[in-house]
Amino acid sequence: MKTLKSLLCSAVMFAMAGAAFANDAINSQSNTLERERDQLQQKQETQPSQDDLLRTQQIGHVEKPEWGLSDAELLRQPEKLEKLLAVYLAQGQRKQVAHLVDLYKQQRIYRDDSLIEWAIAMSHAQTNLRRAIYEYRILTGKFPDNQFIRYQLATLLFANQEYDAAEGQFQKLRASSSLTQQDVQVIDDYLNAIARKNKWNFSLGATFLHDKNLTDQAKVGTTFHIPNTTAVLRQDNPPEQGTGFNFNVNASKQWSLPKGQYISLDGSADMKYYWDNKGFNELSTYGGVSYGYADAKVNVRVSPYIVKRFKAGGKDASSKLSAYTNTFGTSVAADVWVSPKWKQSASYTFSRDNYVDDAIDKRHGGKSHSSGFGATYYRSPKQYFGAAMNVSRFDAGAKTESYKRYGGRVYWGQEWAKGFVTRSSVGLNERKYEAPFFNVRRKDKEWNTNVSLWHKAVHYKGITPRLSWNYYKRKSNIDIFSYDKHMTFIELDKSF
């Protein structure tokens, strides 16, 4: 009887093992859903918006005098104190201005009160944007030829979403004959950004793909010995490979409302086409609407969205795309500029993955909660650094598919000499599953590295090619779930 019972247990174990490997395609698709969420979050965290980069730019570079004088010495030399204050005012250095203007107010004879008025207007930009705009308008009336004051007014109007008024100020600046070519480029960047605000924005992208592990599986020969049994799970199926293209199209439109409010629409479609393995073709569509508030320091928004995914039948199956999953979600996000160079971000997203097949949905469908926090330092228009942390929880129908995930990433963007630009990020995550897999509670560690390189001068009709490399590794305490892969690909994007 004991032998018979042992045989029956082994038979059950092998049947379960067979089912586990039969779910390879489903598990791969689950990984795809999570990767898409990660890629969207990573893109939001590591790729600063055009508006973010505009904040770091200035016109009319002014060299700061290198006197190295103390406060007492500056008070004894009011002409140097005034020159230093004027330089910091022109550069928009609020912290330094706040300190120097306190010294400057102590002057009774050698003092220009208009510099104090300028400093007061600049201080209001951090606490009361509308008051700051009012003060700057007065200053531009008094000093219509002061390009620094007009530029700062224009940027405040832009931040307050008064795009028509900002455009007028930038146009007046651009008409000045004393601007350098670099100044003109900064102003044109703002004018182009304003033009995009008032119309639909579209972008197209294409990426050459060569994926050696479409099914995200362990190497052939990897085994897992089921505890307390003689049964062994073994990965004998070679990974599926595919070569093809990833096509994507994006569309967006924003409408400004009174008092800093706005509504935006966003839509996208992403198609993976493998000409030598069409059973793994995929199509993902996204549609969302956002309602938010933005001013010079804060951008807060809530965005309900829907994602629909279509996929082919997998290995030895039809290449026809069929509806596979629907994801409904809502995200709440906030960006806060704590200083002219530091931006902090926080977000929370709730979503529900529904599989079209009821049997699959019962096991793999579920709810996802994700929270993140990040900080980015914009050292200059050509360099930024950042770090982000995230915590997520996925509650699937089957406890063996439910998990908690903790992680973070660091990222760096750099424009080098001679026009080369790089963008890179490194992430590390740990995932802990709720229910044991064959009496073993699964734990995974994940590494993800991405590097992109391009040259600003290499483009054709607005299309700039980027060379990118991505490496992903999962190390699981259950070896059959461990794998790694790297991909090198060329990306082509165009916005219009």
> How do the domains of the chain map onto residue ranges?
71-178, 201-495
The residue-averaged pLDDT of 411-416 equals 92
Pairing verdict, β 443-455 and 420-433 = antiparallel
Q: What is the pTM of this model?
A: 0.76
Q: Phi-psi bin for 17: left (phi > 0), alpha (psi -120 to 50), beta?
A: alpha
* Residue 77 CB partners (closer than 8 Å, separation 6+): 69
The residue-averaged pLDDT of 294-304 equals 88
Residue 13 Cα distances to 23, 78, 237, 406, angstroms: 15, 87, 19, 31
pLDDT in tens, 467-487: 999 999 999 999 999 999 988
- Among 140, 160, 158, CA closest to 150: 140
CB of 267 within 8 A of CB of 289?
no
Q: How is 163-216 classified by DSSP, letter by letter?
A: HHHHHHHHHHHHT-TT--HHHHHHHHHHHHHHHHHTS-EEEEEEEEEEES-TT-
Residue 224 has pLDDT above 90, yes or no: no
pLDDT of 291 reads 96
- Among 103, 162, 97, CA closest to 134: 162
CA 308, chain centre distance (Å): 21
13 pLDDT tier (thresholds 50, 70, 90): very low
Question: SS3 of 47, please?
Answer: coil
pLDDT of 379 reads 85
Tokens, residue 446: 């994940």
CA 279, chain centre distance (Å): 31
Residue 252 has pLDDT above 60, yes or no: yes
14 pLDDT tier (thresholds 50, 70, 90): very low
pLDDT in tens, 47-64: 677 777 777 777 776 667
pLDDT of 422 reads 95
Q: Give the range with max mean pLDDT: 85-94, 163-172, 226-235, 447-456.
A: 447-456
CB of 141 within 8 A of CB of 113?
no
The residue-averaged pLDDT of 115-126 equals 91
pLDDT in tens, 326-352: 999 999 999 998 887 889 999 999 999
pLDDT of 245 reads 94
The residue ranking higher by pLDDT, 108 or 322, is: 322
Residue 171 has pLDDT above 50, yes or no: yes
Task: Please report, to the nearest 10 degrees, the dihedral formed by the alpha carbons of residues 351, 355, 358, 359 taken in order.
Answer: -100
Q: Phi-psi bin for 68: left (phi > 0), alpha (psi -120 to 50), beta?
A: left
pLDDT of 163 reads 83
Whole-number mean pLDDT of the chain?
A: 85
pLDDT of 5 reads 42
pLDDT of 41 reads 59
411: β partners: 386, 425
pLDDT of 319 reads 81
Same fold, 71-178 and 201-495: no
CB of 28 within 8 A of CB of 279?
no
CB of 260 within 8 A of CB of 160?
yes
CATH of 201-495, one of 3.40.50.360, 3.30.1360.170, 2.40.170.20, 2.40.160.40: 2.40.160.40
* Residue 301 CB partners (closer than 8 Å, separation 6+): 290, 291, 292, 293, 332, 333, 334
19 pLDDT tier (thresholds 50, 70, 90): very low
71-178 belongs to which CATH class?
mainly alpha
pLDDT of 18 reads 43
CA distance 85 to 99: 9
Task: Classify residue 440 by its DSSP letter.
Answer: B
Task: Please report, to the nearest 10 degrees, the dihedral formed by the alpha carbons of residues 84, 85, 87, 90 taken in order.
Answer: 180
pLDDT of 27 reads 57
Q: What is the share, in percent, of the chain residues with pLDDT greater than 70?
A: 89
